[in-house]
């Protein structure tokens, strides 16, 4: 079932263009505003529980890994200033099937962020507003909590509908606060309570082994905390000077996030009372820690004024991230519709250039996330892996588009792309491996649901409106997804050593630690070069670029690097 790609029919809504109203600070703060969310409120505790003081190495490893992926994205974001770029770059390089897969991966990551940020805010708020959480649960909301969460999500929706300028301005002020409070927390904790012995207490600097360092990267909230650097790319069609501002925003947000997160981890470990470590790092707990570790720590140290600021920030930081994540999810839906994977009804724009129907759908689907999932810790591994599997397609797209459109101006040109592009893909695969089979198999099931929805959409769409699926360009996709599942199953990263699947206990961990990482690296390299071989022909890729970058007509001229 392949039909030649046809441009979308002209409709008043789809002829409207998004407005280029976001300046350099606004686009930087779009990424920073997502990066600094609930990750800083809980990440230091989760990282310490999994890796002990060596969580510092986890933050460093996570930063290097995400920076490599971010540099790849910076090249594409500067080249193609379009809404929902993470969905559309793989489409340019490999065609519709891979483009849909990328869009679905990213949608799984973004549509769940606003709910998890809302849950984080309500978890902190439960310290002074009773009845939000079920007693004894791991963060499950009560009926009252669900009602409050729905109201918060509705407020995110209203601000998104108001237009990108309003949203950008609100976010600017929120981000200044979101940077100031974590930095203040680091300074105060280091000055008031610094126990250097904590860095070797409870079993030494690496009490839970080297493997724990890598596990913390994916399931301790570290990758989750760094995700969001791609936020600027989602608003590529609304940036005044994307060729300059988007690469700066991607790299700048990563640098700001790393400085804040590494400082917080140092301050958290050092500020703990040594008695809190009497049972080891994996059993780390102190009064109020599960409902807000930094605020509880401040209260333990008699810093009530800091605790009050942290409770306020527990609304502002997750709230700002939730606001922008809902916007990113909506622009992903918009991009899927523009690519004709879903009905183009969702590509409609208001007179303000806002994708209204996509925003409303993101709001409705976000509400459902509150129902089946537990609190912050229960979703962080899934969201991180969904984001990383999306990021994995970026270096593939860089490598392919270097061959397909070598002469296109690149305001930011990835240095040593022949090394950093395949390395970026390998790094992304390793991050998925660290998440363990318990997360990966759920992610694969969610991906299969997406393909089922695509099949339904195609079956109910007239033949002359169906996009070509470009099966040849996707020949690497199926071996890749199957290989991720198999290697994850065989790896040593699921510490439970067994997983119950559909009522059957299945033994895990047949490959030893280190061997599994080497196998994944070799597998990823093979898939990368297979993808380069089956990429779209240059003429086909250029056709897709011309069809789907109509927003670029408004761009000022930007010289190539």
pLDDT, tens digit, 9 for 90 and up, residues 406-444:
999 888 899 999 999 999 999 999 999 988 888 888 889
Q: What is the pLDDT of residues 298-317, one digit of tens each?
A: 988 999 999 999 888 888 88
Distances (CA, A) of 68 to 328, 395, 419, 510: 22, 9, 11, 30
pLDDT of 160 > 80? The answer is: no
Using alpha carbons, select from 72, 64, 85, 90 the residue that is nearest to residue 232: 85
Q: Domain 12-549: which CATH class?
A: mainly alpha
| pTM, two decimal places | 0.79
- Residues paired with 459 in a beta bridge: none
Provide the pLDDT for residue 13. Answer: 43
Closest among 514, 446, 518 to 211, alpha carbons compared: 514
CA angle centred on 73, ends 437 and 260, rounded to 5°: 75
> 501-549, pLDDT tens digit by residue?
556 666 666 788 889 999 999 999 999 999 999 999 999 999 888 875 5
Domain boundaries, the chain: 12-549
Rounded distance, CA 157 to CA 132, Å? Answer: 22
Residue 360, Cβ density class (10 Å: 0-12 exposed, 13-18 middle, ≥19 buried): middle
H or E element, residue 507: strand 504-507
Q: Which residue has the higher pLDDT, 330 or 476?
A: 476
Determine the pLDDT at residue 319.
Answer: 78
Distance, CA of 466 to CA of 459 (rounded, Å): 9
In the predicted structure, residue 164 carries a pLDDT above the cut 70: no
Q: According to the model, what pLDDT value does residue 395 have? A: 96
Note the pLDDT tens digit of each residue in 75-123.
888 788 776 677 789 999 999 899 889 888 888 888 888 888 888 888 8
Give whole-number Cα distances, 159 to 155, 163, 168, 354, 397, in Å.
6, 7, 10, 11, 33
Contact 325, 113 (CB under 8 A): yes
CA distance readout (Å), 120 to 34, 59, 84, 127:
14, 21, 26, 12
Query: CA-CA distance, 411 to 244, in Å (whole number)?
Result: 7
């Amino acid at each position: 079932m392949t039909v030649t790609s046809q441009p979308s029919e002209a409709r008043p809504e789809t002829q409207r263009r998004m407005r280029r109203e976001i300046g350099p600070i606004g686009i930087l703060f779009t990424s920073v505003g997502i990066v600094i969310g609930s990750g800083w409120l809980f990440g230091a505790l989760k990282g310490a529980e999994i890796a002990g003081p060596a969580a510092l190495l986890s933050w460093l490893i996570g930063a290097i890994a995400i920076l490599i992926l971010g540099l790849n994205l910076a090249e594409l974001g500067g080249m193609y200033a379009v809404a929902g770029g993470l969905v559309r770059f793989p489409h340019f390089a490999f065609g519709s099937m891979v483009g849909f897969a990328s869009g679905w991966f990213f949608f799984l990551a973004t549509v769940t962020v606003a709910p998890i940020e809302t849950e984080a805010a309500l978890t902190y708020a439960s310290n002074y507003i009773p009845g939000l959480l079920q007693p004894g649960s791991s963060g499950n909301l009560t009926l009252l909590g669900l009602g409050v969460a729905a109201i918060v999500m509705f407020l995110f929706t209203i601000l998104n509908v108001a237009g990108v300028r309003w949203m950008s301005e609100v976010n600017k002020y929120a981000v200044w606060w979101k940077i100031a409070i974590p930095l203040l927390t680091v300074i105060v904790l280091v000055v008031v309570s610094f126990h250097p012995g904590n860095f070797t207490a409870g079993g030494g600097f690496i009490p839970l082994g080297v493997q724990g360092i890598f596990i913390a990267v994916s399931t301790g909230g570290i990758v989750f905390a760094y995700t969001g650097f791609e936020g600027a790319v989602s608003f590529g069609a609304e940036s005044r000077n994307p060729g300059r501002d988007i690469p700066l925003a991607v790299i700048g947000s990563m640098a700001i996030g790393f400085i804040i997160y590494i400082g917080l981890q140092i301050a958290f470990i050092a500020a703990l009372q040594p008695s809190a470590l009497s049972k080891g790092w994996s059993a780390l707990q102190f009064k109020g820690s599960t409902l807000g570790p930094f605020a509880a720590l401040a209260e333990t140290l008699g810093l009530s004024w800091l605790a009050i600021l942290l409770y306020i920030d527990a609304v502002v930081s997750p709230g700002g991230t939730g606001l922008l994540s809902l916007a990113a999810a909506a622009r992903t839906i918009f991009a899927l519709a523009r690519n004709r994977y879903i009905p183009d009804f969702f590509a409609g724009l208001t007179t303000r250039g806002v994708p209204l129907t996509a925003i409303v759908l993101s709001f409705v689907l976000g509400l459902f996330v509150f129902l089946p999932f537990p609190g912050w810790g229960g979703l962080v591994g899934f969201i991180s892996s969904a984001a990383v599997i999306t990021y994995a397609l970026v270096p593939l797209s860089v490598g392919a588009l270097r061959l397909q459109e070598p002469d296109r101006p690149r305001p930011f040109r990835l240095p040593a792309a022949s090394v950093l592009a395949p390395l970026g893909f390998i790094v992304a695969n390793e991050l998925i491996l660290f998440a363990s089979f318990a997360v990966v198999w759920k992610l694969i099931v969610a991906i299969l649901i997406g393909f089922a929805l695509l099949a339904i959409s195609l079956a109910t769409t007239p033949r002359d409106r169906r996009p070509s699926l470009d099966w040849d360009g996707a020949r690497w996709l199926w071996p890749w997804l199957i290989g991720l599942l198999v290697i994850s199953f065989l790896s040593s990263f699921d510490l439970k050593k067994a997983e119950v699947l559909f009522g059957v206990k299945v033994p895990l961990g047949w490959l030893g630690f280190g061997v599994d990482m080497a196998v994944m690296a070799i597998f990823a390299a093979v898939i990368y070069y297979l993808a380069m071989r089956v990429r779209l022909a240059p003429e086909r890729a250029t056709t897709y670029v011309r069809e789907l970058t109509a927003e670029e007509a408004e761009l000022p001229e930007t010289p190539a690097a």
